[in-house]
């Protein structure tokens, strides 16, 4: 869906907007991803409702390898490489939100941790606690979402020539999602505009078409496009989903330079 999730509707929404922290009616989602041949990622998210407050949590971890001399921070093409130095990355999110005067307000804390190779000390640990704020509200027949993410201070790392200051990727995103039904078909739409410091602006969006022939069973096809972070990423992604009673399986396919692909599979049991 073009990574347009600032106004999304599943349990992974809290990674993009704390106002989307999952309610107790949402399942636990588990996602496995493969980048090239030697890089893997895992994500899970869920939540609960306590009184008038929704509390959500999520974890995303990745492991890949790079050259020990590769410049940090890394690009997506580094995820599909084959080198000798291992890298591990972890993000943990805890978010809460509540609705007041028709607007759902959310705040979140994010722990970001990288263990990366260093030409000076062999490996170096980077860790920061970051803050997110966001809001959603109904608009027309859909949902409008706004989020400001990754608020925090830069950190430094040792290099062969001194120290390097690395800024956290603070960003703001505004988006709108909606869904429609027409007989046995369902249609979903997602749009978003994201802006980061230093002037990077990335629009994105996607369409989801679902067909249900009997209650509880459905298949979906998805396509999304966005402005990628680097020229090594391809702007278009594809996806599909199958819902069979309480089981939901989703698949997403992304593309990287060099004919490399990114595969993601999400499983849910409702």
Residue 103 lies in a domain: yes
How many domains, the chain? 1
- Give pLDDT tens digits for 134-161: 999 999 999 999 999 999 988 776 666 6
User: Which pLDDT value is given to residue 119?
Assistant: 62
Residue 1 lies in a domain: no
Residue 212 lies in a domain: yes
Q: What is the pTM of this model?
A: 0.90
- Give pLDDT tens digits for 51-105: 899 999 999 999 988 877 777 778 777 777 677 778 899 999 999 999 999 999 9
Residue 48 belongs to a domain with what CATH number?
2.40.160.40
- Asked if 74 and 87 count as a contact pair (C-beta separation under 8 A), the reply is yes
User: Which pLDDT value is given to residue 162?
Assistant: 66
**Is the torsion defined by CA of 163, 201, 221, 60 positive or negative?**
positive
Residue 3 lies in a domain: no
Residue 6 lies in a domain: no
Q: Which domain holds residue 70?
A: 11-269
């Amino acid at each position: 869906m073009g990574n347009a999730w600032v106004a999304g509707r599943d349990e992974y929404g809290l990674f993009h907007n704390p106002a989307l922290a999952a309610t107790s009616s949402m399942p636990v989602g588990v996602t496995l991803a493969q980048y090239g041949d030697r890089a893997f990622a895992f994500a899970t998210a869920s939540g609960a409702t306590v009184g008038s407050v929704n509390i959500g949590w999520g974890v995303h971890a990745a492991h890949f390898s790079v050259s020990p001399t590769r410049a940090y921070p890394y690009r997506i093409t580094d995820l599909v490489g084959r080198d000798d130095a291992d890298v591990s990355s972890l993000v943990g999110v805890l978010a809460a939100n509540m609705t007041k005067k028709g607007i759902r307000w959310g705040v979140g804390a994010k722990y970001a941790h990288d263990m990366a190779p260093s030409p000076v000390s062999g490996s170096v640990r980077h860790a920061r606690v970051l803050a997110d704020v966001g809001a959603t509200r109904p608009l027309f027949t859909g949902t409008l979402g706004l989020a400001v993410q990754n608020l925090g201070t830069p950190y430094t790392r040792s290099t062969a020539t001194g120290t390097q200051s690395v800024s956290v990727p603070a960003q703001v995103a505004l988006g709108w999602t909606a869904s429609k039904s027409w007989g046995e078909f369902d249609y979903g739409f997602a749009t978003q505009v994201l802006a980061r410091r230093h002037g990077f602006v990335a629009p994105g969006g996607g369409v989801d078409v679902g067909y249900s022939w009997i209650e509880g069973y459905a298949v979906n096809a998805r396509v999304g496009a966005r402005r990628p972070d680097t020229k090594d990423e391809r702007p278009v992604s594809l996806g599909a989903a199958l819902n069979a009673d309480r089981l939901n399986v989703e698949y997403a396919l992304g593309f990287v330079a060099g004919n490399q692909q990114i595969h993601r599979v999400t499983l849910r049991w409702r």
